[in-house]
Structures are given as structure tokens and as C-alpha cells.
Amino acid sequence: MSQTTDGPVGGPAPLPDRTALIGGFYAVGAFGTWGVLPIYFKIMEATLPAEILAHRIVWSAILVGLMLKFLGRWREVLAILENRRLLMWLCVSSLLLSGNWMLFIWAVTNGHILQGSLGYYINPMVNVVLGVLLLGERLSHAQWVAVGLSAAGVGVLALGVGEFPWIAVSLALLFGFYGYVRKTAPAGAATGLFVETLVVVLPALGYLMYLGWNGVGAFGATSVSYDLLLVFGGVITASPLIMFTAAARRLRYATVGLFQYLAPTMQFLVAVFLYDEVFTDAHKITFCMIWLALAIYSADTFMGRRRAV
């Protein structure tokens, strides 16, 4: 992805290295926020995962909607709503994204952060396989080795622990198919997210009203600070997306791809060292195989892009 030089109007544009540095800060901010996301959900674990998800949807829709209004980008939203085919694809991506959010929240609040991090580690490999199966893309020998190592790593964990890591695989598949649908349905990051939340905002709002009517909802039941934490779900959803978009505009795509491993790495550290989740020998072997696969895949991608320049 080419670098942009968004300088002040009438002023000098930033130097390319300064642009890349700013992009790097945005990337660290985006993936770093996603990396510590389990801590937020752990704080909220007394609340039903479905209620946390509903708050995340509602407050994200409000926050992103206000941002688009402020930036004068409502025409983009209206254009999507008038395009039936695009709107249909975004309805599908909305369901996939909601499913991914719900499963991740459930995993965190039930002590499965480690599987969540594994899911986002193997997600690039899932994307590669989906590219082959659905887009007719071809893989290099090194990429096939990386995919094989990832699959073997999942198998080692299943045999070593005696249980298939369905949370990790499901998260990777949900986000992989989400990425494929968003590739098929070209929409801006912010406008696309707004429409995706808009699709499910009424059911989410209805669910929250139902909980409140029956006196079992978390909002307004404990303290103002806890209510603010629920509202904060919109901020932690929208802000990393905005930072990611800003990073992608300033950095090469391959560079952004390397930054993406920051999030699952932080989640891994949070799971093992902050919440003391069980980390067996099978986990060690699996994660080492996944990390090796990612190193091979990243090196092959990087060299391929250098040869293409």
C-alpha cells in the first residue's frame, strides 16, 4: 500500500520517514488496544456475554455514527443503504462479526483467553486457505509449509489436551470469512462498521430493554462507573479501527501485516502471566509450531513483495 503524505493544508507534507513513524504509532495503538481487550472483558465478567455484546453494538453504532456525521460522510452511508447487493453482503459480514465478538467475549469471561490468542495467530493461515478455495489464489511452497505447520500445531494441541481447540478454530474461521466478505463488499472501514452495527442495533437495543424491564440488566443496576465501562465498549471497538485505518494509509501493507501479530502476542501474555491460564507442554509445542509457521509465511510474503518492487 502506498504511503500518503497528509500534511496541513497549505503547509509542507511530512517526510516519508516521519509518515511511516506516525503510521507505526497508529499501528501499535490499534493492535495494542486489541491486545489488552481481554482485560476489559475480564472486568465485565459478572455481566452476561450477550449483554456485553449488545452494549458493544449499540454504543459502537452511536459513536461511529456521530463521527461520520462530524466528518460529513453520511453520503457514503446512504450510498451503501441504497446499494442492495452491497447492503446484503454487509448484513452477512455483520452476522459474522457479531458471532466473532460474542465468541471472543464468552471465551475471555470463561477463562479461555489462550485459545482466543491462538485463534488470531492462525487466522492468517485461514485467510490463505480461503484465498485458495474461494478466490483461486496460488500458494508458494513456503506458504504451503506454513499452512501445514499450523494444521499440525492444532492437531498437537487436540491430542495433547484431549480436546479439539474449537474456540481458536471458530474464531479464526469467523474472522477469516468476515475478511473474505469485506473483500467482496468494498466499503470504508468506518462506514462499513457503522452499517454492520446498524444491521443488528435494533435486536441489541431490544435485548437491553428486555433485560432492563425485567430488572436483570447490568446497566443502571450497580454504579455509574460500571455503566460508563459498558458505554466504553463503543470506544474500544471504534478507536482501534480508526487507528488501524490511519496506520494502513501511512504504511506498506506488508508492514501492517507484521504489526498484526502484536495483538495475539499480548493476549497470550495476558492469559499466561496475568490470569494464570493452564499452559501445558502441548500448548508450548503448538504455539512454537504456529510461531514458526507465521515466521515462514511472513518472510515469504516479505521477500515476494521485495521481488515485485
Residue 166 has pLDDT above 90, yes or no: yes
- Rounded Cα–Cα distance for residues 128 and 149 (Å): 13
What's the average model confidence in pLDDT over 139-158? Answer: 87
- Going by C-beta distance under 8 Å and a sequence separation of 6 or more, which residues neighbour residue 187? 80, 86, 90, 195
Per-residue pLDDT for 23 more than 80? yes
Which stretch of 64-68, 181-185, 199-203 has the lowest confidence by average pLDDT?
181-185
What does pTM read for this prediction? 0.85
Q: What is the mean pLDDT of residues 163-169?
A: 92
Domain map of the chain by residue range? 16-308
Residues 208 and 54: beta-carbon distance below 8 Å: yes
Determine the Cα–Cα distance for residues 161 and 179; give it in Å rounded to an integer: 30
Confidence band of 8 (pLDDT split at 50, 70, 90): very low
Contact call for residues 150 and 288 (beta carbons, < 8 A): no
CA–CA separation, 2 and 300 (whole Å): 20
pLDDT band with cut points at 50, 70 and 90 for residue 128 = confident
